[in-house]
Structures are given as C-alpha cells and as structure tokens.
Structure 1
Amino acid sequence: MGFGTEAGWGADRETSFAIMEAFANAGGNFLDTANLYKLGTSEKFIGEFINPRDRDYFVIATKYSLKDNTTNPNASGNNRKNMMRSVELSLRRLQTDFIDVLYLHIWDDLTPIDEVLRGIDDLIRQGKVNYAAISDTPAWIVSKGNTLAELMGWSQFIALQVEYSLIQRTPERDLIPMARHFGMTVTPWAPLAGGALTGKYLRGGQGRVKPESNRRDENSIRITQEVMAVADRLGVEPSHVALQWTRQQGFECIPIVGATRVDQLEENLKSVDLVLSPDDLKKLDEASAIDLGFPGKFFREDGVRQNSYGGFYDRIIPRS
C-alpha cells in the first residue's frame, strides 16, 4: 500500500525496489497489493521489479472493487464488468499474464455473490487468475459464496483478508471461525495496528495514526503496554511480539506487513525467529480479550461447554 508517494506519503520507486529486493533476499516471495494503491503505482512498481526476474517464484495478490477512474461510472464495485476491466488493467501494470490471488477488496452490498464467484472462476479458467480470495466482507456472505461454489463446481475463496491484531480481535466472533471451517488462510491487514503496537506512540513518536483513533485509546494503550512488557522480557522489539502473536493463533495466518523503509521491513522480518511461550500468549490474550457476544460467549460458559456442544468453539478459537 505504501509503494508510491501519491497522497503525500509512501516510498518512491528506488526505495520500493530496495524493500522488495531485501524481501526477496530474505526468502520472501508473497507480495500483496491492490488496483487502487497509490492510484496504480504500487502495481506498476511491483511489475517493474518482477519483470526481469523469475515470475513463477513470486506469488502476487491484488484486489479489485474500489474505484480507480472517477470519470467512469462503471469503474467500481464487485460486479463482473468492473472485475474484468480492473483485472485487465492490473495485468498491464503488473506486466504479467496472470495474477496468483485475486481478492474482492470490499463488499459493495449490491452485487450477488454468485456473480462474483462465476466471474473469478471464468478468469481462473482463462488462466488470468490462479486463486479467488475475499477481503472486508461479512462472514455470512463468504459462507454463502463458498457453499455455492462447492455446489456449482466453481473455484472457492481460499483466503480471507481482514483487519486483525491484538488491538482488533473482533474477527474472532465469526470471520475467523468461518475461515477455519472452509480451510481459508487468514491474511490480516494492519497486524501492527498502523504502528501503534510497536509502542512508538507511547514513546512520543510520530506516525499516520491520529491521537483520536481507537488504535490509541485507553484500551489500546493498555494492550500495547503488555506487548512492550513481553518484548522487554524477551529482549526483542514489540513489533516482533505483535506479529508473531498472529502467526501462533492455531490457524493458517500470514500477516501482511507494510513498509515504506528498508529498515522497517528488516526489523519486522526478525519476528519469524521468535516463538512465544504459552505463558506469553496467555498474557497477551488476557490483555486483549474481547467480548465474543452471543453465541460465542454462551458457548464458553462451563455448563454449556461440559454438557452440550462438546467444546466445539474451543477447537475453533482455542485460547480466546
């Protein structure tokens, strides 16, 4: 999202290339972007970087839905017309014949989900897309879509991208149990809550998260302080703890880490060397616990867990 300097922030071409080079040298090969990021500049930079390299080594994910042409009334939404138009433009910017993972970026509350799935399935059959995925969409819609796809023989959604972090755990109410049921990989955006979980704001640092944001409210500060305490005890950075927490949730989870400087990427990559102990996970879970609401909270009541459903919810979200 930060490749390009449109809107007054982000990484220029040279810095973006240096970030991707450092990522590739570290063994990284999964790049996540979108048609709208930096008005298309992100896709252009990625395409220019990968074009002289081994395309098959990289897994490129991009998204469609959000408007990328304000003069065209058809250049937005989940509909098939916009999907086909957007994918063709993304292929040109990315300088590739195919997109590995195509996400529906955000639900428009208008297009029938079967239209979306049939459209992506057609793109997959044409060889322009390898896998279907979905982002920022209610669990019941994703469930309906994957069930329809199974019945119709279409390609199902294989990944779910939602905001998920120690500060934002509400997807545990239904989105993540749904993803686990369908075997979908979760690819959280903002796993560091816009940098709040690095502790930089508590240390007086500056960033794009405004003081009035809920990422910097009393509850978020308390969670961040616990992250910093665990990090201090382990001798690592708070970002390592926050990122590794997402990777140790008991389901397939690949946090999407944004970087506008090489040193940010290099620091975040160190999280793969960390393993949080059960005690560390418990402290973090307790500090960031949310009210699951009904029926999740009801399922956790001792009497219900012991006498009724046999611990189903504990198996879906083991520690919450």
Structure 2
Amino acid sequence: MQYKLLGRSGLKVSELCLGTMGFGTEGGWGADKDTSFAIMDEFANAGGNFLDTANVYKLGTSEKIIGEYMSNHDRDYFVLATKYTLKDNLTNPNASGNNRKNMMRSVEESLKRLKTDFLDVLYLHIWDDITPIDEVLRGLDDLIRQGKINYAAISDTPAWVVAKGNTLAELMGWSQFIALQVEYSLIQRTPERELIPMAKHFGMTVTPWAPLAGGALTGKYLKGEQGRVKAESNRRDENSERITKVVMAIADEIGVSPAHVALKWTMQQGFSCTPIVGATKVDQLKDNLKTLDVTLTVDQLKRLDEVSAIKLGFPGDFFNEDAVKVNSFGGFYDKVEKRR
C-alpha cells in the first residue's frame, strides 16, 4: 500500500479507503462484529489506514463496531472519517441537516460511539439547500480549533456551493474542505462536468463512492446475478452493459478481475483520487486489494474513456471544440487550440 496526501494537507492516507457502510446486520444484510473486525485487520495488515463511516450507517452500529475495534488497536494509526447531516434520531426537528446545532450534536454522538476523543475527517454528508455555507464552515473551523476534528470535507454537494465555501474559508482564515466525496465510476462520469474540475482547482482529493457502480462493473448483472437492492436504471441499461463488456474484455487481457480494472481507472485519471471500497466479507476486501498491483496502459485507458464518454454540455464541450475564431480587429482567423 502506498500513501498519498489528502487534498491540500499533510495527512497521509492509503491508496484505497475502506467503506464501512455494511458493518452491522440491521436491515437483514451486512457484516457482524467479528467479520467486521476481520475485515479491518485485513485492511490494516495490507497497509490500509483510511476508514470511512457515517453517523447513520446501520443506525449507528458501524461507528460502534469501529469504536470497539479502535479501543483495542492503535487509534493514531488510522485516519477515521465520519459524516453528519442525515437524520439519526427523532428527538428534535434539528436532528438532521447541515446546521450548526445538528453538527455539534452529531459529532458528540459520533465521538461516543467511536470511543475516541477526535475525528480525523468530518464530512458534511449531503447538502440540505437550507443552511448558509458560512454557518457550516465556521462550525467546522470551531470543531477543528477545539481539537474534536482534524480536517473538514464535504460530500454530495453542488460544485458552486463547495467553491463558495472554500473561497470564503480562505478569505476568513477558516479551515477549508480538503476532500470531496461523490459518486464516480465508469458508469457515472457526470462529476467531470463541474465537481472534479472544481476539486482539482482547490487541490481537493476526490473519494468516490460506488466506484464499481453498485457491482455493475464487476459484470455480475451480465451474468444474471441480482444485487442486494434493485439497481438504478443507469446501472442496468444498454450503455452500462456496453461499458461493462469493455471492462471485462480488458480484465481478461491482463488476467485480473473486472473490479480491478474499474477501480484502477478511477485511480489513473490524472487527479488526486482515493476510491472507497466497501466489503462485508474478508474475501471481497482481499480481491479489491489486488487492484494495487494493476496498471492500465494508455491504450486500455483510452478504450475505457471512449466507451464511457459523456457529453459535458456547455461550456465543457464548447471548450473542447476545435474552433475557428474571428479576430475582431484584423479580420484574421486564429486556430483555437483544443484544450481539455
């Protein structure tokens, strides 16, 4: 396992992040405590140190399992990230949302479940379209100054909101968001329109969730397997099948699984990217870890890019065009360099 800096910080995280949404058996699925412990052991033994959870995962059980594990292991070895925003109880009208009251309450509850004095990374889980972004940034900065969190990050939020927040934080001397968590995969490339260019501009690390598109990119649906939850239409349509077939073909060429190809594609896109790999079985994690030994060639990347290409829309596609531009002063025509 190699280590990378998380965004514009000195925080060193492993190339893969372990997603723990499945730690717990609520809802009739997931890993029990012993299996979850074994998964974290396997991850740590491979050099993994970056764990991703949230206050609502398995009704708080995910955090509780991690907390019990941490109480018997080196807490400082791990980079522990959790989230706040979504409703985790019914006690009051402010038990959800991005507001400061919910932020402070949620962090205190997460610290108790995780049996720790501090969080390494706190994500805003999803934008509520209500709370002023300055309220969010000031609250996060206060938590950092109090030593309850080390870094702030954000998930599932429009690019313009994140950009406004980081710009305001820079102006005010507050801590900025260092990571952006969004759905991103060969089947879901729409973040390339605004979110990823924004992240690159601010030096943020992208931490994709569902980098395997809910398992679709492993080829399991083409083989007739069914997912735990009915997949969204864009993961089962003709376009996703066409993309998956190319993933499977490249996997056959280099003797690895389709999951390795799909994961590695996210890691070789020319920007800081640490995909989140979930696991409810040790064998699933072991297989995902083999991605670290895979390197896709320029030709393979090109084939994957071409089969999964999306229309960026305006102004993205406009910027990418080869255009002839009229010089308004002399009437000359200048070739505009194609840029990406």
Q: Give the TM-score range, shorter chain.
A: over 0.9
8 A contact 2:24–2:62 mirrored in 1: yes
Structure 2 residue aligned with 1:61, among 81, 106, 121?
81
Which residue is 1:150 aligned to? 170
8 A contact 2:322–2:336 mirrored in 1: no
Hey, what's the Cα distance between the residues in 1 that align with 2:236 and 2:324? 36
Corresponding letter in the other structure for 1:248: Q
Q: Give the alignment of 1:1-320 within 5 angstroms.
A: 1-210=21-230, 213-303=233-323, 314=340
8 A contact 2:68–2:114 mirrored in 1: yes
Corresponding letter in the other structure for 1:155: S
Change in 2 beyond 3 A, CA 1:149/1:166 = same
TM-score normalised by length of structure 2: 0.90
8 A contact 1:102–1:133 mirrored in 2: yes
Q: Match of 2:127, SS? A: coil
Q: CA deviation at 1:192?
A: 0.3
Change in 2 beyond 3 A, CA 1:167/1:136 = same
Change in 2 beyond 3 A, CA 1:175/1:29 = same
Q: CA deviation at 1:206?
A: 2.5
| Residue deviations 1:45-98 (CA, integer Å, cap 9, x gap) | 111111121111100000000000023221100000000000000001111110
Q: Which stretch of the first structure deviates more once superposed, 5-14 or 230-239?
A: 5-14
Indicate the percent of aligned positions where both proteins have the same amino acid. Answer: 79
Hey, what's the Cα distance between the residues in 1 that align with 2:334 and 2:56? 50
Q: Match of 1:257, SS? A: strand
Hey, what's the Cα distance between the residues in 1 that align with 2:334 and 2:128? 41
Corresponding letter in the other structure for 1:154: W
- The number of aligned residues is 313
- Runs (4 or more) in structure 1 with deviation over 3 Å come to 304-311
Hey, what's the Cα distance between the residues in 2 that align with 1:190 and 1:209? 13
8 A contact 2:22–2:57 mirrored in 1: yes
| Residue deviations 1:84-127 (CA, integer Å, cap 9, x gap) | 00000000111111000000000000000000000000000000
8 A contact 1:194–1:209 mirrored in 2: no
Q: Match of 1:78, SS? A: coil
Question: Which has the higher Rg, Structure 1 or Structure 2?
Answer: 2
Q: Which stretch of the first structure deviates more once superposed, 298-307 or 253-262?
A: 298-307
Hey, what's the Cα distance between the residues in 1 that align with 2:324 and 2:57? 46
TM-score normalised by length of structure 1: 0.95
Change in 2 beyond 3 A, CA 1:4/1:219 = same
| Residue deviations 1:252-306 (CA, integer Å, cap 9, x gap) | 0000011111100000110010000000000000010000000000001012799
* Structure with the bigger percentage of strand: 2
8 A contact 2:214–2:231 mirrored in 1: no
Hey, what's the Cα distance between the residues in 1 that align with 2:256 and 2:277? 18
Q: Which stretch of the first structure deviates more once superposed, 146-155 or 7-16?
A: 7-16
Q: Match of 2:277, SS? A: coil
8 A contact 1:209–1:215 mirrored in 2: no
Change in 2 beyond 3 A, CA 1:286/1:95 = same
Corresponding letter in the other structure for 2:206: V
8 A contact 1:191–1:256 mirrored in 2: yes
Hey, what's the Cα distance between the residues in 1 that align with 2:22 and 2:145? 32
8 A contact 1:101–1:130 mirrored in 2: yes
Hey, what's the Cα distance between the residues in 2 that align with 1:262 and 1:304? 56
